[in-house]
Amino acid sequence: MVMKTVEHFQQLGIQQIRLNTLANNDAAFKHYTSCGFRASTFEMLVQCN
């Protein structure tokens, strides 16, 4: 399904696709990497309660 979505966006002329996943979600990282995605940014946060 990921590759179908990428192909669809390419047909629409979309230049870039970004997605977010949890930092410790190794399965998702491995899956998206196998679909051609690569790491591009690193986001950090702090909870303010």
Report pLDDT digits (tens) over 4-48.
999 999 999 999 999 999 989 999 999 999 999 999 998 899 999
In a domain, 17, yes or no: yes
What value, to the nearest 5°, has the Cα angle with vertex 2 and ends 45 and 11? 110
C-alpha torsion 10→16→20→23, nearest 10: 120
| Per-residue pLDDT at 8 | 97
| Per-residue pLDDT at 23 | 87
In a domain, 29, yes or no: yes
In a domain, 48, yes or no: no
Domain of 9 in residue numbering reads as 2-34
| Per-residue pLDDT at 21 | 92
Alpha helix segments (H runs only) across the chain: 2-11, 26-34
Query: Residue 28: how many CA atoms within 13 Å on its side-chain side?
Result: 8
In a domain, 12, yes or no: yes
Tally of structural domains, the chain: 1
CB 35 within 8 A of CB 9: no
